[in-house]
Structure 1
Amino acid sequence: MPRRSAEESRENLVDAAIRVMVRDGVAAASTRAIVAEAGLPLGAFHYCFRSKAELLHSVIETIMAKTLPPTVTDGAAPEGDGRRDPAAVIGGSIDAYWRRIQAEPDEQMVTYELTQYALRHPELADVARAQYRQYRDVFREYLETIATVADVRWNVDVAVLARYGFGVMDGLTLNWLIDRDDAQARAALDEFAGYLIAAAEPRGD
């Protein structure tokens, strides 16, 4: 099978797996169900993936690519000293992040279901660990980009801030998926933005 065809088959299988999981749940996403959804022979799965765990990693990465890393806005026009307003950069970036979460609620639900499914199956425990490790790594890059754009530094260790920050956003996402209360989500996001603004200080010359 040509390399390009193999890559296309992998993408088709991942997309098919996401459709099955969104429609029927993670537990229903058997190998046979996924290849049937993709319109491919069963052998294509074993050619493209060494295991179902490898497929689940790819599913998580694909969903993450749509929401993480979130857009980092450059805020309002530069101030008199040429710097961007940190509050505008942080607030605008959180808004952009949240819009991407809201755009794909069904896929967001799949990520939580994948975590629980992996934790209940010892052979897939590394999937959940890798999933959240990658989330934290990407959120750390997000914070570092905000700091660069806003010309600030964090007064909290960035690794700790990334774990805390992603924990906040992860919890807010789950709450919103449950109650779809946009007003309360917005209020909580504003509180988190205020925390980040307080944790940012001018980088200095």
Structure 2
Amino acid sequence: MSRLSAGERREQLAEAAIRVMIRDGVAETTTRAVVTEAGVPLGAFHYCFRSKEELFQTVIERIMERNLPPAGPAHPEGATPHDKVRALLRSYWDQVRARPDEHLVTYEVTQYALRRPGLADLARRQYRHYQDVYRAHLESMAGAAGLVWTVDLAVLARYGLGVLDGLTLTWLIDRDDVRALAALDEYARYLASVAAPADRVADRVADRPAG
């Protein structure tokens, strides 16, 4: 076994687990199957993870991290808030279409956890993580597009997660690209309606009388 750090070994095992989940399904993903896929002894798993639940949480986080788009594409001069938000959402959707099997795994993990006594907290942590990441992504999206949100960010993140989660699951079922993009564009219109150009907001704040 090659000499890897604990972090590198965790990464190796998480990637092996993703491959096993895609190939065999979450319910069939055992620690033995994961170490066999990774080509390491069983002891390596227990060195890196306290439980299979911890491994699953790591898998969820890794899949989400790499399926988020970059901070945002460059926007042409004169682009509207809708144009900017739409471009960023389409960047996200490109990631969904590029890795459908990984997204399917995340839904399987949720169902697996909810149906097993003692594992429901894994599903709760999964979706808390999703909301935290999506909230941070909304902040990045606004920064990249030069916008500020005019509604509570925690509420907007929960709403947006519900929209994107539903759109993703529906697309995994029917693979209807045309309707998926149409629905995504409708969501972009909503986001644009609750966004304001950051420079205008800053100007209004600066114009307020002191005191």
Compute the TM-score of the two structures, normalised by the length of structure 1.
0.91
Cα pair distance change 1:146/1:9, threshold 3 Å = closer
Distance in structure 1 (CA, Å) of the matches to 2:148 and 2:64? 26
Picking from 153, 178, 185, the partner of 2:173 is 178
State the alpha-carbon separation in 1 of the partners of residues 129 and 103 from structure 2. Answer: 15
State the alpha-carbon separation in 2 of the partners of residues 16 and 188 from structure 1. 34
1:71 is matched with which residue?
Answer: 70
Q: CA deviation at 1:6?
A: 2.5
Partner of 1:164: 159
Moved more, 175-184 or 6-15: 6-15
Q: 1:98 offset after TM fit, Å?
A: 0.2
CA distance in 2, matches of 1:147, 1:177: 28
Q: Secondary structure at the match of 1:122?
A: coil
Gap regions ≥5 residues in structure 1: none
Write the distance in 1 (CA, Å) between the matches of 2:62 and 2:144: 26
Report SS of the residue matched to 1:73: coil
Moved more, 181-190 or 84-93: 84-93
Q: Aligned equivalents of 1:17 and 1:147: distance in 2?
A: 34
1:200 maps to which of 185, 195, 203: 195
**d(CA) in 1 for partners of 2:103, 2:160:** 18
Task: Give the C-alpha shift of residue 130 in structure 1.
Answer: 1.2
Confirm or deny that 1:150 pairs with 2:145: yes
Query: Does residue 33 of structure 1 match 2:42?
Result: no
Shift in CA distance, 86/132, structure 1 to aligned 2, threshold 3 Å: same
Distance (Å, rounded) in 2 between the aligned partners of 1:194 and 1:86: 9
Equivalent position of 1:13 in the other structure: 13
Summarize the Cα distance change of 1:9–1:133 in structure 2 as closer, same or farther, 3 Å threshold: same
Task: Provide the residue aligned with 2:207 in structure 1.
Answer: none
> Is the aligned partner of 1:109 residue 2:108?
no
- The answer to whether the 8 Å contact 1:101/1:173 transfers is yes
Distance 1:62 1:149 in 2: 23
Cα displacement (A) at 1:4? 4.0
Distance 1:78 1:104, change over 3 A: same
From 80, 95, 99, the counterpart of 2:94 = 99
RMSD: 1.8
- Residues 13 and 35 in structure 1, CA contact (< 8 A), matched pair in contact too: yes
Structure 2 unmatched ranges of 5 or more? 204-211
SS in 2 for 1:56: helix
Opposite residue 75 of structure 2, the aligned amino acid is A
The one of 187, 190, 195 aligned to 2:185: 190
Partner of 2:47: 47
Q: Which residue of 2 aligns with 1:85?
A: 80
Q: TM-score, normalised by structure 2?
A: 0.88
CA separation in 2, counterparts of 1:20 and 1:89?
38
User: SS of the counterpart of 1:144?
Assistant: helix
Aligned to 2:209: none
